[in-house]
Structures are given as C-alpha cells and as structure tokens.
Amino acid sequence: MVKKYKLVIFDLDGTLTDSAEGIVNSVQYALAKLGIVEDDRYKLRAFIGPPLMDSFQKNYDLSSQQAWQAVQYYREYFAVNGMFENKVYDGIPSLLNRLQNYGRLMAVATSKPGVYAEQILDHFNLLKYFDLVVGSNLDGSMTDKAQIIALVLKSFEYLPLDEMIMVGDRTHDVEGAQANGIDVVAVTYGYASEEEFLCSRPSYLVDTVYELEKLLG
C-alpha cells in the first residue's frame, strides 16, 4: 500500500498543464529574432522542462551571450501570448481539490520563472490549491531543479523527508527529487516517454492523471 504523503510537490509544464504550444511558439519567435528558421515544432518540444539557457545552448550551439539574448526574445512572446497558449490536463483540478480536502500540503517546483508560474496558475484558477510556488529567477539564476526543490523543502522542514513526494514528467524532476532524498512519481502523460525514466528509476511511474490520483489519494 502506498503511504499517504503529507506534502505533494508538483512540476508545472507537462504535469499540471499542457504548455507545449506556448513554449514552442515562444522558442520559434526567439530563434527567428536571431535569424534561425526552425520549422520542426516537434524538435522544439525538447525545450519543455529544462532551463531555457541550457536548451538554447545545447540544441542550437549558441554562446552564453547568444543564449541569454534568445531567452529575452523568448520572454517577449511568452509574457504576452505564450503563457496562455496552454491548457490544464483533464482531471488535474479535481485531483488538487481532493488532495486539499484531505488536508495535504501542496507546492509547485518549476524551472520556469516563479512570477510566470504564479500567473499561469492564477489564470487557470489553480493557485488557490498551493501553499507555495517556487521557480527560477528572471535573471537566469536558480534554474537547477534540485535547488528549486530544496527551497520548497526548506519551507516545510518540520516534515520528515519520507512524508514528501515530487510529481514530474522529466528526468530532471526525478533526479532533483532524488538529490533531496524524497520519493518521486514520474508521469508519462507529459513530455517524456517511459523509456526516459529507465535510468533515473523513479519511485513510481503513472501514465494518466487518474492513476496519479489513485496513487496520491
């Protein structure tokens, strides 16, 4: 029987919301501003989840200065349009409502800037469910997932680590949770396949929001 965790920490993109359209559009806009034409939208899904600086450098061989400029262009589009080209996964509101009614504490830990994360959650009427939202800083600092999760845990340090669990859809969510000594459930309905988790070995693996609700409920 799965233990009843007192604190549930959620990733945002690919876990609570399907943000692919807005992120891909924002990346395309940023690349175009740099003179790079990218029509392969599926390729740009690699930007969902990891820190943007890392993604621009890794996928387009940009220098640090070029990648930082790309991030600024990305935000030009994202802050106005991209963050709202997004939708909540079916079943997430009822899951959060149920956990809240059960007295669970809930937080969001995302590599997305915290100010954007709060705006998105508020836009979709989900912010009311969370006791804490932690994201990266707009200056490009605090993008490491393990550090972000550590900040969440610091706010709930009165709880034992074995009463906390992370929910995410990418390997950096799994590895970030493991680095902090807490359990983690990987979801495959987001932007990773089950194969992505073969090496990271999450505590649990679920394919649907319904399975996630059964696990956490």
105-113 and 183-187: which strand pairing? unpaired
Interatomic CA distance for residues 31 and 64, integer angstroms: 15
At position 29, the amino acid (one-letter code) is Y
**Catalytic residue check, 207:** no
| Nearest CA-CA partner of 27 in 68, 63, 56, 50 | 56
- For residue 195, what are the contacts with CB-CB under 8 A and spacing of at least 6? none
- The CA angle 193-217-166, to the nearest 5 degrees, is 50
Contact 95/88 with Cβ under 8 angstroms? no
208: left (phi over 0), alpha (psi -120 to 50) or beta: beta
Annotated active-site residue in 11, 18, 173, 183: 11
**Structure tokens that stand for 155 in this block:** 């706010």
Q: Is 22 helix (H, G, I), strand (E, B) or coil?
A: helix
From residue 174, alpha-carbon distances to 42, 122, 137, 163 in Å are: 23, 26, 21, 16
Residues that are catalytic: 11
